[in-house]
Amino acid sequence: MRVLVTGGLGYIGSHTCVELARDGHRLLIIDNLGNAKPSVLERIRELAPGAAIEFVRADVRDAAALESAFAGAGIEAVMHFAGLKSVSESMANPALYRDNNLGGTAILLKAMARHGVERIVFSSSATVYGVPEQLPYTESHRLQPANPYGQSKLQVERLLAAQAALRAGFRYAALRYFNPIGAHPSGRMGEDPRGVPENLLPYLTQVALGRLPRLRIYGADYATPDGTGVRDYLHVMDLAAGHLAALAYLCDRDRSICANLGAGRGYSVLEVLGAFERATGRKLAYDIAPRRPGDIAAYHADASLAARELGWKARYGIEDMCRDAWRWQAQNPAGYPD
Ligand code: NAD
Ligand code: WQD
The Å distance, Cα 282 to ligand 1 centre, comes to 30
**Which residues share a beta bridge with 171?**
119
Cα(302)–Cα(261) distance, integer angstroms: 9
Does 218 contact ligand 2 (Cβ within 6 A)? yes
Residue 225 is given by DSSP the state: T
**Which residues share a beta bridge with 257?**
173
- Closest residue by CA, ligand 2 atom 9: 179
Per-residue pLDDT, 35? 98
Q: Are 47 and 14 in contact, with CB atoms under 8 Å apart?
A: no
Nearest ligand by distance to the CA of 300: 2
Cα(5)–Cα(121) distance, integer angstroms: 10
Distances (CA, A) of 230 to 13, 70, 266, 314: 25, 42, 6, 18
Identify which of 93, 103, 188 has the alpha carbon closest to the alpha carbon of residue 147. Answer: 93
Instruction: Report the phi/psi class of residue 71: left, alpha or beta, with left for phi > 0 and alpha for psi in -120 to 50.
Output: beta
Cα(261)–Cα(181) distance, integer angstroms: 13
Q: Is 2-183+232-263+303-314 in CATH node 3.40.50.720?
A: yes
Per-residue pLDDT, 21? 98
Distances (CA, A) of 63 to 103, 108, 296: 11, 8, 38
Distances (CA, A) of 29 to 52, 70, 238: 11, 11, 21
Written as tens digits, the pLDDT of the chain (338 aa) is 999 999 999 999 999 999 999 999 999 999 999 999 999 999 999 999 999 999 999 999 999 999 999 999 999 999 999 999 999 999 999 999 999 999 999 999 999 999 999 999 999 999 999 999 999 999 999 999 999 999 999 999 999 999 999 999 999 999 999 999 999 999 999 999 999 999 999 999 999 999 999 999 999 999 999 999 999 999 999 999 999 999 999 999 989 999 999 999 999 999 999 999 999 999 999 999 999 999 999 999 999 999 999 999 999 999 999 999 999 999 999 999 99
- What is 60-83 written as a DSSP string? TT-HHHHHHHHTTT---EEEE--S
Nearest ligand by distance to the CA of 60: 1
Per-residue pLDDT, 298? 98
Cα(221)–Cα(236) distance, integer angstroms: 29
| Coil, helix or strand at residue 19 | helix
Phi, psi (deg, nearest 5) at residue 251: -80, -45
Phi, psi (deg, nearest 5) at residue 7: 65, 25
- Closest residue by CA, ligand 1 atom 1: 10
Name the CA radius of gyration of the chain, rounded: 19
Instruction: Using CA atoms of 177, 182, 185, 186 in order, give the dihedral in degrees to the nearest 10.
Output: 110
Cα(35)–Cα(198) distance, integer angstroms: 14
State the chain's maximal CA–CA distance in angstroms: 57
Q: Where are the domains of the chain?
A: 2-183+232-263+303-314
Residue 290 burial (C-beta neighbours within 10 Å; 0-12, 13-18, 19+):
exposed
Cα(4)–Cα(239) distance, integer angstroms: 18
The Å distance, Cα 331 to ligand 2 centre, comes to 24
The residues, ordered by sequence, that sit 6+ positions from 159 with a Cβ below 8 Å of its Cβ are 102, 105, 106, 109
Does 46 contact ligand 2 (Cβ within 6 A)? no
The Å distance, Cα 82 to ligand 1 centre, comes to 5
The Å distance, Cα 159 to ligand 1 centre, comes to 18
**Known catalytic residue: 149?**
yes
For ligand 1, mutation pick of 6, 11, 199 (most atoms within 8 Å of CB) = 11
Cα(56)–Cα(29) distance, integer angstroms: 6
Per-residue pLDDT, 17? 99
The residues, ordered by sequence, that sit 6+ positions from 97 with a Cβ below 8 Å of its Cβ are 84, 89, 90, 148, 149, 151, 152
Cα(66)–Cα(143) distance, integer angstroms: 31
Q: Are strands 267-268 and 230-231 parallel, antiparallel or unpaired?
A: antiparallel
